[in-house]
């Protein structure tokens, strides 16, 4: 998971820092998915109707283009 405060300016760390092999990191991925709803529960960030869907997909595609593979959206 990466949090970007300004989605108009995507900062992409090295793909090796974000991408994991599912078979090697299954417990970490399951933990992330299980706790995802709790991460922003007490956020003080202003509620807005803006979406960052397109910039998030662009960032994922930029990371993925060097490695190949799939992007799964949920």
Q: Kindly tell me the burial class for residue 24, based on how many C-beta atoms sit within 10 Å of its own C-beta (0-12, 13-18, 19 or more).
A: exposed
Res. 13: pLDDT tops 70: no
- Is 71 in contact with 60 (CB distance < 8 Å)? yes
Residue 61: both structure tokens together: 């595609």
Model-level pTM?
Answer: 0.51
Nearest C-alpha neighbor of 65 from the set 26, 3, 12 = 12
Sequence-distant (≥ 6) Cβ neighbours of residue 56 within 8 angstroms: 7
Res. 10: pLDDT tops 80: no
pLDDT in tens, 41-61: 777 766 666 677 787 788 788
At residue 27, the pLDDT reads 93
């Amino acid at each position: 998971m990466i949090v970007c405060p300004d989605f108009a300016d995507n900062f992409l760390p090295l793909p090796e820092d974000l991408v994991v092999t599912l078979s090697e990191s299954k417990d970490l991925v399951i933990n992330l998915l299980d706790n995802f709803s709790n991460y922003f529960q007490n956020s003080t960030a202003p509620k807005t109707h803006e979406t960052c869907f397109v910039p998030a997909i662009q960032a994922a595609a930029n990371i993925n283009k060097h490695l190949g593979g799939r992007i799964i959206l949920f």
